[in-house]
Amino acid sequence: MIYELMISSCYPDRYWFQYVSTGDDYYELLQCKKIQSNNPIVFKLEKKVSEKRLFSYDIYFSSGPVFISPRLANLLSSNQDFLHDVQLIDATITVNGCSYSGYKVLNILRLISCIDMNKSEYIPILESYPDGPMKFFEMVFKEDINEQFCMARSEESIGLIVISESLRQFFIKNKVKGID
C-alpha cells in the first residue's frame, strides 16, 4: 500500500517558509536526479514565531521544496533504503532574524507510476496541452504496485510525493510531526 505525503492539518500557516533561490533552481529538484552543489538551500520565515513550537516539527513546507529537521535527518541517515530513494541536501533556515543549519531538503530520486488514471477524475491544466500536467478532482492509487521504494514522486503528477507502508510506520514509530 502507498500513501500520499500530506501536510498535517495542524501545521500552522505561519510556519510556511519562503524559498530563497541560491542558484539551484527548484525545478531541478523535480527531475528525480542527484544534484551536485555545495550551496545550502535557503529558506526564510518572515513572521515572528515561537521557535520552541516551530522547532517541534520534523517536516517543513515552503514555497519551494519540502525540508526536514536535523532530528529527522539524523534518523533517516541510517536508513539505506530511504537514502537509495532520496538525496538529503543541506538547507539553512532563517527564523526571527537568526540562521540555523542542519536542515535537509528532500531531493526525491524515484519516479513511479502510482495513480490509476482510469479510476481517477482529472482534467489537463492546459487545454492546449492534453498530455501535460493534470488537475485531479479525485485521485485513486493503483493497487498492484510491486515496485519497492520508500519515497517517490508520482509519474502522473510530479508534485505528488508518495511513501511506502514501511516509511509510514517509521514516521509513526518516531512520532514525526508535521505530516498526516
Report domain extents, the chain. 6-109
pLDDT of residue 22: 64
pLDDT of residue 18: 94
Provide the b/e sequence for 71-90 (b: ≥16 CB within 10 Å): bbbebbeeeeebeebbbbbb
Grid cell digits, residue 19: 524559498
Give me the chain's average pLDDT, please. Answer: 91
For the chain, which ranges sit under pLDDT 70? Answer: 22-25
Grid cell digits, residue 129: 496541452
